[in-house]
Structure 1
Amino acid sequence: MSVMKKSLRRQADPCRGDANHTALTLRFGQLCGAVAGKMGRLKRTWTAFLSGTVLSNATTAFAQESGAAAAKLFSSTEVVISSLVVGALGAALLSAVWLVRQRGNMQAETQEMRSALSDAQQRISKYEALIAEKNRRIVVWENGPSKPEFLGQLPPETGAPQQDREFLAFGRWMRPTSAIEIEKAIELLRGEARSFDMVVETSRDEILEVQGRVSGGKAFVRFIALNNLRAELAELKIERERLTHSISLFHSLLDAIEQPVWRRDAQGKLAWVNHAYSDAVEAPTPHQALEEGREFLGTIAREKIAATTTPTSPFHDRMSTVVRGNRTMFDVVDVVVPGGSAGMATDVSEAETVREELKRTLKSHAETLDHLATPVAIFDGERRLQFYNQAFVQLWDLALPFLESRPDNSELLDTLRSSGKLPEQLNWRSWKEAALAIYQALDTKTDTWHLPNGQTLRVIATAHPQGGATWVFENLTEQVDLETRYNTLVRVQGETIDHLSEGVAVFGPDGRIRLSNPAFRALWGITAEEAKPGTHIKAIESLCSPSYDGSDGWRRFGQMLTNFDDERRSLQGTFELYSGLILDYAVTPLPNAQTMFTFVDMTASARAERALKEKNEALQKADEIKNDFVQHVSYELRSPLTNIIGFTDLLKTPGVGELNGRQAEYIDHISTSSSVLLTIVNDILDLATVDAGIMQLSYSEMPVDDLLDDVAMQIADRLHESNVTLEITAPTGLGTIVADEQRLKQILLKLLTNATNFAPEGSAITLECWRKSANIFFSVSDKGPGIPPDMLKTVFDRFSSNSKGGKRSGAGLGLSIVESFVTLHKGEVTIDSRAGQGTTITCRIPTGTLMHSVAAAE
């Protein structure tokens, strides 16, 4: 029982396994030596005992013989001899007694040795049984190069080979990582006497405990197949290592991503953050962010997360926070567990912008398709109507509730057929299946439908990569009609050209005539045979040259037709023929590299030209009279308007008397309307002065900064009234500008007034000024609705007012005056505007030497 307890203790304590084995081996040797010694002593005792027995027999015989002799002769000599005999007999007797006692002791000691030998043999058997059990195997190497000795076996279910020579091939029955580790550990054990303890996995997912020790110059490696609690402990250890590696791997992964990630303990304190988190809170390292407790989200946001997050319902919402001084939108996810919580934030600002842009783009595309004249219908992946434009509704004349119900494509075709709007087919089912096969087709399908109402449609169906299809119905009725008309037109054109009074000739790129009309041949005095199609221009030149004085006309025509210039130019001129005819010619490039020559008899138009000149002079005189009239009337209107404004201001003063509310309101309306009317009169007067060419510019040198300050003060009331702010951007040290101060202020005030009128309330308009070379640039920008592209060409026209989106409507003279005054300063005005994105007007004013005055006529 004690041996079994020691064996179990040695199994529970693997670190003492090699020492116990060594002690067991030494004890076995000692026991064998003791047994051998006892057997030798026993052999010597039996030899002495046998010798004593022989001596006793000899003594007895001698005594018997001495007694017989005494009977014959009893002398002194006999007495001495008898005494010796008696002494010898006593000694023999004592020896016999001692021998008997020694024999008893030897028998007892022999019995003890046999009992000890039996006990040792039993222990050796038990030890061998323990070593040779089926759940462990020991490999022993002698010091130096030697073959290993194998003791015991491992269970077959571990996958370990039973043959000794195959057991050390660890790579064949262990996992690769475990095989590499055990081979390296055994090498260090035999070479450097470095002990080890490890747990390995076999190819069958079994767990083995391996211990390596050095004792008595031998290297021992013990493989133990674990079971029950120790196997579970080893598996837990391996799982712990895996989890540790996984956590380390996930930490490294989270450190590498761009999204801030954090973990909190049960008290809500930060326990771990990644590098993106530390960058977001502007901390040099994550460790410093933890030490300083820098929070990524605000207090309210954190309280909201803590209040709404539960273990079964993680928090997921979008929140805004400040990152590097910018307000940024994040998609925040936070999960809570009994030991704390963890969260991650994803920057969705750009995604939100893209999503909004996508919505605007889709809406824009839908609006664009809705305004197309071509019918379009889009079906989704389930073949249901997703989009249709107005042209589609007009083409098929379907009820809007039916279309809004998102009918199936097949249902739509059936409805059109039942309404008699589709052509009848011999096999309707096959025709419909062929039409709907576009959803499985790879290429676009094109078909022609001849409708019962006489229309001809080209149907173009395109499948979408993500499912669905787009159907485009191109009405070919007009195209067919146009082709018919074109053919008719070609014939009519030929007849028309033949009956024109102007001479027309068309030449090809090879310089040969393609067609000519009778008027051309009559003007130049050539026959139809001479100008037949295919005649080269050189032949025409030789026929026409004698008719006029000069050699550059037709020769230049020939050069234009046969040169290799990339751009073909138009050409106009006049021929004076010897016959007295005056011909105006025009050379016009045509498509297909053809060229048309047109000759018009201008002889009869000379009188008309003179009449037109006289009429033109009359119109110029009338324009002067108009300018005089406008100027006179403007001056005459200014005086009474000034009086009206003055008396209106006088009525507002308390000295005249108190006015009731309605009278004060009327007085304000009169004052406002009079001021507007005076502004219009002044604008008309300025434009009339410019048109008359009598506008005088008074140049002076003025600081640009003072000019901007004066303009800002004058426009302040209008800005306050419209709830708009003014931002002036100008670099320091702009210096001075030489220009007409009054007109320059008028330009800037008109631009600012126009921008204020269209700027949304609460927004800001920008006045930017900069110098470049010898020019000063003034730019006024607003964030208003912008100017549609079709109106950009007319914004500088007089009395052209675009009041859409503006707070006030005017006479439309402001930008016209700006353009006139900038032109007088030898500058230019440019405008950049897009619908919905505001407007920017830039004026370039040259600055030069100081001059007294410059008239508009100059």
Structure 2
Amino acid sequence: MELSPTMLALLGLLLAAWTAAAAWMMILGAGRARKAEGSRKAARRMARMIDEAPAIPLIVRTDGRIEGSDRLAGWLGLPSLPRYLSELDGGAGVGLSASQLSELTELVKRAQKTAAPFQMALTVPGSERSLAMKGVLADPQVSPGGAALVWIFDFSESESELTKLREDAARARGDFAALVGLIEAAPLPMWFRGPDAQLRLVNQAYVAAVGAANSEAAVAEQLELVERVDGLTAAQVAKQAGDQGLPIERIVTTTIGGERRSLRVSDLPLGKEGVAGYAVDIEEMEELAREFRAFRDAQRSMLDQLSIGVAQFDGKRKIAFANQPFRRIFKLNSGVVAQGLAFEQFLSGARDTGRTPEVRDFPAWRSEHAGWFASGESKEEAWPLSDGTHLRIVGQPMPDGGLVLIAEDRTEQLALSATRDTLLRTRTATFDSLFEALAVFAPDGHLQLWNRSFAGTWGLDPEMLDAHPSAEELLVAIGPNLAVPKQAEGIGEIIRAATLDRREKGGRVTLADGRTLEFAGIPLPDGNGLLTVLDVTANEQAEAALRERAVALEEADAVKTRFLANMSYEFRTPLTSIGGFAELLQAGVAGDLGEQGREYVQAILDSVARLTEQVENVLDLSQSEAGLLPLTKQDIDLFTFATDIVRAREQAVTDAGLSLDLRGSKASGRVFADARQLGRALGHLLDNAIAATPRGGKILVDLSKKDGVGRIVVSDYGRGMDQAELAQATGKLAPGGGSDEKRQGLGIPLARQLVEAHDGTLEIVSRRGAGTTATILLP
């Protein structure tokens, strides 16, 4: 069938309309799809926000069914959220407890019926999670039919914080109560002032210090503990502390219990609340400080008296004290303590003055010694200096971080030690070189020291002595070498007497080989005993020989005595006879003699007189030497005695052409002597002076007495003698010839013997060409 154009046009329009409608529907569907997708995204976002929210919603329907997030199941400790409210009690320690669930059910039912909101807080059993529940009647748009909406919050952290705050508050209340009790019972005065600086609270120590009846009375009367200082009261000082907002501490003196006490008072501002204060009694501390200062001054004064140098460095490593020996050793001036010289500077200065040892790396050496401050133990070093000084340095760290440095000059000690070593070596060498055998025994009897002769003298093995045997062991070894072995006990007694009894004792033993040993024990100052042994065998032999000679000399002396007695008779008798016959001839008994005969007789008489005098001299000299000279002493006036002797030789002085000067008086005193023998001694001296003085010379005789000693001086100005002639003239030998035979005869020796027989002395001084002076001194 063919369609008309109109129909085709209508059909085209219809198709176009249909296409447009389809297109519109597609556009509209796409828009709705986009809206639906946006709604789904918003729903998912909302659901995610609810899941992340700190609160979880729970819908409870009227039939008990519940709707909620599985996160709530985790809070309740359930594996999944149940369908009904009654199933929140999971049992076996999970979910809510029966009482919690019953309470929640009642509150939900009341909210569903009355629309009354409720709040509930609970702790999930078996965990520390705390939940807060807030319930209301759900909006019909949320859940129609009277359902309840319960918001559940996890406030575990808040609950813990609240619990902690409650505990802290309770603890703070307890601490405050304890603090109040502590302040009240404190032994030191404490108080509190208000913003107006008036007392509001005081403790019992304050009450006792001010002498109040109780704390209320002390506050009411405003009794101040501290007196006015510098015109300011204690309240004014506290006001200043409060205004400045700074604590004020001061040391004041006040009267407590009738005694003046030193207090350290502190005022502490407490903001707008007021000012607190307390006072610490430091009287004992001040007393200790005064005692410490006195002790320190005494200690430093004592250290100044020591010969050892001592210096103190404080915790800042600065010198606080140095005594005089320390300053002298290190050449420091007296101002180093006031300057506070540092330890490193001290070492540097000591190096500059040559008071430290020479080291290669001085900075490292100085740093090492600065470490002594931190050392836990004392340090000791020896410092040899370039000038030969040896110092002993000791560093002692102190508890306060300081250091005490001790310096001892050991130069002299080391020199003494070297001298001691030399003396010990000298002693050993001396011991070994002595002829005597020596041994030193300790107080316990052991042999300590011996010389090389000791072993040979006693016949001992030298190796035995190297073991330092005891005295008993030594005596056992000596016994067999003695002629009488039992005498070894006597040697032991002498050793014990020297070491224990501190007595000197000796003895003598004979050895088996015939030798004789003389020994002695001598106590030494160090407590030891010295045994000295000497081989006196040769002395014994010499002593025997001397005894024999002594017997022979005694016999010879007896013969000499008899000879002198006989000679006195034998010499004098012939001379007397010759003189008598010559005098008879001179008197003419045998008839008259001629001139020549008379000269012969006179010559005979002169010779007899001279020979008689010489015989007398020889006999007197022999008797004097033999000690047989007879003396008849009497009290003699010295001046009269000397005058008689001089006048007897007046003719001889005149014939020789000499002059004689006698000086003296009755003040010359008296002597007790034999006038004949002393006259002969003085006569011999005058005869020698007359013979030795040339013609025209002068002889001086001077008499005096001083300090009870009589003095006779005979001096001439003759030829004099030299030393050899003087020795020959005053000796006992026969003259050896010479020009002055008279001076060298028996006169001077006999005069000496006669003077010495009177316990006097004869002194002769002579010089060739200057004369001779003879001086007799008589007691």
TM-score when normalising by structure 1 = 0.36
Q: TM-score, normalising length from structure 2?
A: 0.39
